[in-house]
Amino acid sequence: LAALQLGRQVHVLALKSGLQSNEHVASSLILMYSKCGLLEHARRSFEDTPKDSPITWNFIIFGYAQHGKGKVALELFHQMTESRVKLDHITFVAVLTACSHMGWVEEGRHILRTMESDYGVPLRMEHYACAIDLFGRAGLLDEAKALIKSMPCEPDAMVWKTLLGACRNCGDVELASQVANQLLEIDPEDHCTYVILSDMYGRLKRWEEKASLTRLMRERGVKKVPGWSWIEINNEAHAFNAEDSSHPNSKHIYDALVGLMDEIRLIRDTSNIEVASQDWAIVYGC
C-alpha cells in the first residue's frame, strides 16, 4: 500500500532521528516514493545515502524500471558497476525488468550471457522468468522456449506462468495448452493457470474452450481469488475488489456510480467528456 502522507511522516521522523542514511530506512523510503510515482523523491532519498550498499542501488533501479524509465535504470546499473559496489541476484532482476519493460531484447541477452562470467552472479529462476517475459513481450516465443530447454534445472511454476502469460499476449493457443498442462501438474488447484488460459480463450473468441475450462474449474472446486485494490483517503486505507459490497459505505458508493452512469447516458456528444475518476474516488471512497 503506497500511503503517501503516512510515508512522508515516517520520512520526517527518520530525518529527526538521523536515520535517513540507514540503508534499510533509505531503501524503504525509495520503495514508498517509487510506488507513489514520485521518482524524484525516491532519487533524493537514494542520493542522501552512502553508495556502498547494493540494497539502495537495487531499489532505485527497480523504481525506474517499473515506471518505464529503462534508460535511467541502466545508467544507474553502469554507475553501480563503476562504483565497485557488489552486485547481487536482485540487481539483475531489476535490470532485466528494465529491459523487459523497454523491449530491449539485445541488452537483455547480453546481461544473461555476462551475469555469471563477468559479475559472478549465477542465474536463478527469477532471472529466467524475467528473460522469458522479455522475449514474450517481443513476440519471441521460440527463444523463450529454447531458454527454458537450456535451463540446468527443472523450471518452477513462476517460469511456466511467465511463459503462459507470453503465450496469451502472442495468441499461441497450442503452446499455452502445453504450458498450462505443465502448471496443472505442479499445482492442479492454482486458479491463476485457469484464469490466464480462460482470458486467452476469451480474447480469441474461442467460447467453447472457455466454457469447458469454466466447467473444469467448477468440477475441481477451483475458485478465482479476487484481487484487491487499495486507496488512501484522509490518511485512512480503503480496500475493495470487483463487485465488492463489504465496504461500510458501499450502498452510497454504488448509488453514486449509478447516478454517474445515468448522467453519462444523457450526454450524446462524448468527445468533450472529462473523466474525473480521481475526484469521485476522493468523495465517495471507491
**Domain definitions of the chain by residue range:** 1-122, 140-227, 247-286
At residue 275, the pLDDT reads 47
Q: Which cell numbers in the block locate residue 76?
A: 544507474
Who contacts 51 (Cβ-Cβ below 8 Å, separation ≥6)?
57, 83, 85
In a 3-state reduction of DSSP, which class is residue 20? coil
Of the given ranges (8-12, 98-102, 229-233), which has the lowest mean pLDDT?
229-233
Average pLDDT over residues 166-174: 90
Q: How far apart are the first and last CA of the chain?
A: 15
pTM: 0.76
- The tens digit of pLDDT for each residue in 111-128 reads 999 999 999 999 999 999
CATH of 140-227, one of 1.10.287, 1.25.40, 1.10.3470, 3.40.50: 1.25.40
Angle at 96 between CA 91 and CA 99, to 5 degrees: 135
- The tens digit of pLDDT for each residue in 221-275 reads 888 777 777 776 776 777 777 767 777 778 888 888 888 888 888 775 555 545 4
Average pLDDT over residues 74-91: 94
Who contacts 86 (Cβ-Cβ below 8 Å, separation ≥6)?
54
- The tens digit of pLDDT for each residue in 11-40 reads 898 888 888 888 889 999 999 999 888 999
